[in-house]
């Protein structure tokens, strides 16, 4: 008692009074001391809780955008969407990507992204490997295109037997869809034709224009966004069936309530003037729901992409 009481503001006179005025006063002083200790512990716990909540709120949400454009283009293109998310969620949002799809997939598996924007076969992998949950997708479907020079003699995909086909990345969904179409026509990769990776869609078509490749696999979306001058030098030889577009997903650490807030923020953004301009500029067609069985349809593409990634290690 003599060691504890002074710490809570008791004087020597109070101690003498406690010792000379009987057990009743001592008991009251003990209760008072205990109450103050309880209050002190409660304040410490409350302060820690406030600090933890503040840390969580101050930590930005990370939007991971798959590397279909340069880092600068991704940041510029998604700036309006990020601003809308920040305003609605009252939380800072940062945009991250990766130098290539392989690294992007690795970072996705590690859970580096709170919100994920990725192709459907990569979304299937993200769901399987890291528990990501689908929110929405861009409504406009995509197609894989097999293009050749406008003056090339090729009239059918079968005419490319023994030829070289350029591709931006072997695990891109457009290229995998074209690869599957060629297989149905009896052309097997590595046996009936070979591919060369070029890094970006623009450099891929330049391989064709500059005659370093006989054809190129690209996404229709990328093709439509190319300059008219480039498109005039190309001819579409074949086109895949419609494929689901890019999908938004959230990491499991984002709770249900916040995930719903992100979803509502995206939908509100698409209905705003800035959102409509964003959708028109990107040819996305707005947002649509992700069907429950939709990701499962991309399992073969996802497994093929996994196989390619493992071969690169």
Looking at the DSSP bridge assignments, the partners of residue 288 are 137
Same domain flag for 104 and 252: yes
- The mean pLDDT of the chain is 85
Same domain flag for 259 and 127: yes
Same domain flag for 154 and 233: yes
User: What distance in Å separates the CA atoms of residue 133 and residue 116, rounded to the nearest whole number?
Assistant: 9
Can you point out the beta strands (E) in the chain?
61-65, 93-96, 115-118, 133-138, 144-149, 164-167, 194-197, 215-219, 234-239, 247-250, 287-288
Same domain flag for 151 and 216: yes
Q: Report residue 107 as tokens.
A: 């970072």
User: What distance in Å separates the CA atoms of residue 248 and residue 259, rounded to the nearest whole number?
Assistant: 11
Which H or E run contains 99? none
Counting the structural domains of the chain, the total is 3
What per-residue confidence (pLDDT) applies to 33? Answer: 56
CATH number at residue 251: 3.40.190.10
Asked if the model's pLDDT at residue 52 lies above 50, the reply is: no
User: What distance in Å separates the CA atoms of residue 137 and residue 135, rounded to the nearest whole number?
Assistant: 7
Same domain flag for 48 and 129: no
Task: Return the DSSP state at 141.
Answer: -
Identify the band that residue 100 occupies on the pLDDT scale cut at 50, 70 and 90: confident
Identify the band that residue 72 occupies on the pLDDT scale cut at 50, 70 and 90: confident
Top pLDDT among 71 and 30 is at 71
Identify the band that residue 14 occupies on the pLDDT scale cut at 50, 70 and 90: very low
Same domain flag for 16 and 84: no
Identify the band that residue 29 occupies on the pLDDT scale cut at 50, 70 and 90: very low
Domain boundary among 238, 257, 277: 238
Top pLDDT among 169 and 85 is at 85
What per-residue confidence (pLDDT) applies to 134? Answer: 96
Looking at the DSSP bridge assignments, the partners of residue 166 are 196, 216
Asked if the model's pLDDT at residue 68 lies above 90, the reply is: no
Q: How many CB atoms lie within 10 A of CB 165?
A: 27
CB 237 within 8 A of CB 90: no
Phi, psi of 156 (to 5 degrees): -140, 155
Domain boundary among 183, 207, 238: 238
User: What distance in Å separates the CA atoms of residue 77 and residue 65, rounded to the nearest whole number?
Assistant: 11
What per-residue confidence (pLDDT) applies to 18? Answer: 43
Asked if the model's pLDDT at residue 275 lies above 70, the reply is: yes
Asked if the model's pLDDT at residue 253 lies above 90, the reply is: yes
Task: Return the DSSP state at 7.
Answer: G
Same domain flag for 232 and 155: yes
User: What distance in Å separates the CA atoms of residue 42 and residue 34, rounded to the nearest whole number?
Assistant: 12
Asked if the model's pLDDT at residue 11 lies above 70, the reply is: no
Q: If you average pLDDT over residues 7-19, what whole number do you get?
A: 42
Lowest-pLDDT range, 63-67, 167-171, 240-244, 247-251?
167-171
Same domain flag for 215 and 68: no
Lowest-pLDDT range, 1-5, 34-38, 126-130, 290-294?
1-5
Strand order in the sheet with 194-197: 194-197, 164-167, 215-219, 144-149, 234-239
CB 66 within 8 A of CB 101: yes
Asked if the model's pLDDT at residue 42 lies above 50, the reply is: no
Domain boundary among 215, 238, 261: 238
Same domain flag for 228 and 83: no
What per-residue confidence (pLDDT) applies to 200? Answer: 80
Same domain flag for 273 and 132: yes
Q: How many CB atoms lie within 10 A of CB 88?
A: 16
User: What distance in Å separates the CA atoms of residue 284 and residue 247, rounded to the nearest whole number?
Assistant: 11
Could you tell me which of 117, 20, 5 has the C-alpha nearest to residue 62? 117
Same domain flag for 19 and 68: no
Same domain flag for 137 and 270: yes
User: What distance in Å separates the CA atoms of residue 202 and residue 68, rounded to the nearest whole number?
Assistant: 11
Q: Give the range of the structural domain holding residue 250, as residue numbers without chain letter.
A: 60-141+244-312
């Amino acid at each position: 008692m003599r060691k504890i009481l002074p710490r809570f503001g008791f004087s020597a006179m109070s101690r003498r009074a406690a010792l000379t005025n009987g057990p009743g006063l001592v008991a009251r002083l003990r209760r008072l001391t205990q109450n103050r200790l309880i209050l002190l512990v409660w304040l410490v716990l409350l302060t820690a809780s406030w600090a933890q909540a503040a840390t969580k709120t101050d930590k930005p949400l990370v939007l991971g955008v798959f590397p279909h454009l340069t880092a600068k283009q991704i940041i510029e293109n998604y700036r309006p969407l990020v601003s809308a998310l920040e305003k609605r969620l009252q939380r800072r949002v940062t945009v991250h990507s990766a130098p290539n799809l392989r690294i992007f997939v690795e970072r996705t598996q590690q859970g580096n992204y709170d919100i994920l924007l990725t192709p459907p076969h990569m979304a299937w992998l993200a769901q399987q490997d890291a528990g990501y949950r689908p929110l929405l997708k861009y409504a406009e479907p995509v197609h894989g295109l097999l293009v050749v020079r406008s003056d090339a003699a090729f009239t059918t995909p079968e005419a490319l037997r023994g030829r070289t086909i350029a591709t931006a990345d072997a695990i891109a969904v457009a290229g995998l869809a074209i690869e599957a179409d060629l297989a149905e026509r009896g052309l097997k990769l590595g046996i009936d034709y070979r591919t060369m990776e070029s890094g970006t869609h623009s450099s891929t078509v330049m391989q064709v224009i500059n005659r370093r490749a006989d054809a190129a696999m690209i996404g229709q979306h990328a093709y439509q966004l190319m300059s008219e001058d480039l498109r005039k030098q190309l001819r579409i030889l074949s086109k895949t069936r419609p494929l689901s577009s890019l999908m938004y997903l959230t990491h499991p650490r984002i709770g249900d309530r916040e995930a719903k807030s992100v979803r509502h923020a995206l939908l509100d953004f698409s209905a705003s003037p800035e959102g409509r301009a964003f959708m028109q500029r990107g040819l996305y067609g707005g947002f649509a729901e992700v069907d429950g069985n939709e990701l499962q349809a991309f399992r073969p593409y996802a497994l093929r992409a996994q196989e390619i990634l493992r071969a690169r290690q």
